Amino acid sequence: MTARRYLIAGNWKMHCRQSDGAALAADLAARVGPTADPRFDLLVCPPATIISPVSQAVSGSAVAVGGQDCHAQVQGAHTGDIAAEMLADAGAAFVIVGHSERRTNHGESSATIKGKAAAALRAGLTAIICVGETEAQRDAGQAESVVAEQLTGSIPDGATASNSVIAYEPVWAIGTGRTPTLADIAAMHGMIREKLSGLVTDPGAVRILYGGSVKPSNAAEILGLADVDGALVGGASLKADDFWAIAQACP
Ligand code: PGA
């Protein structure tokens, strides 16, 4: 099996201002120190307005910073949008694309997300490409086909294990406290791994994160599953102790 380092990513969503965001980031930076833990990489994805102060707060540490969304173009008449290059300029090394809150609240299609992921690669960022089924789709037995379709539609040309990460986030598990069974997570991650053949050059080395109500109490069992290479954490990433406990649950 290819050795894959875990990636523990915090999605702060629309939370934090400069002062508490920088304080949270500095707290994590102090725990990680200048060299990454041999088991995991730690990433925080704050709102775009505070990427710069958060980057400063983690400077000198192995904590990485990412954005939560980007536009497909380098620049232009796109009011309110942010180019991947702007995120990089502010200090980001990663960007989340295709989060279900973007797919749902902003009507983003897989084609749109593919354009955003391609922009991330163009800007030298690592794209975290999110996929996941709704509860109705799972109940209808369509979870795997929906996710497979999202992968095919959202992964850009040129995606590799070093510039792309997949995050499987069942929509119904995000922010609800509910999670799929361990068997369901393992089955989906196995399917995603298989599906990556033909979509990326080195499918065995791509990190596949699980996201949706990850917390200190369930992190160890989820991170212990085959083909789960990390977590995308929302609510629990806003408390340094909880986020750190999740990272420490990496085998
Ligand atoms: P949650 O969010 O951990 O609060 O469920 C996960 C996400 O939306 O990435």
pLDDT, tens only, 22-70: 999 999 999 999 999 999 999 999 999 999 999 999 999 999 999 999 9
Percent of the chain with pLDDT over 90: 98
100 phi/psi in degrees, rounded to 5: -60, -25
Q: Is the pLDDT of residue 171 over 90?
A: yes
Closest ligand 1 atom to residue 211 Cα is 6
Which residues does a 6 A CB cutoff place in the pocket of ligand 1?
Answer: 11, 169, 174-175, 211-214, 232-236
> Any idea which residues carry the catalytic annotation?
99, 169
- The alpha carbon of 77 and the centre of ligand 1 are apart by a number of angstroms equal to 31
For the chain, the first-to-last Cα distance in angstroms comes to 16
Q: What is the pLDDT of residues 174-211, one digit of tens each?
A: 999 999 999 999 999 999 999 999 999 999 999 999 99
- The alpha carbon of 212 and the centre of ligand 1 are apart by a number of angstroms equal to 5
Residue nearest to atom 1 of ligand 1 (CA): 234
Name the pTM for this structure.
0.98
- The alpha carbon of 176 and the centre of ligand 1 are apart by a number of angstroms equal to 9
Cβ proximity of 229 and 208 under 8 Å: yes
Residue whose structure tokens are 């990489």: 41
Closest ligand 1 atom to residue 174 Cα is 5
Check residue 3 and give its pLDDT. 80
Closest ligand 1 atom to residue 235 Cα is 4
- The alpha carbon of 22 and the centre of ligand 1 are apart by a number of angstroms equal to 21
CB contact set of 228 (below 8 Å; sequence gap of 6+): 185, 186, 189, 208, 209, 210, 222
Residue nearest to atom 2 of ligand 1 (CA): 234
CA gap 101, 208 in Å, rounded:
19
Q: Is the pLDDT of residue 2 over 60?
A: no
Q: Is the pLDDT of residue 1 over 50?
A: no
Average pLDDT rounded to a whole number, residues 143-163 = 98
Q: Which two tokens stand for residue 140?
A: 């209808």
The residue whose CB lies within 8 Å of the most ligand 1 atoms, and thus the one to mutate among 232, 242, 243, 246, is 232
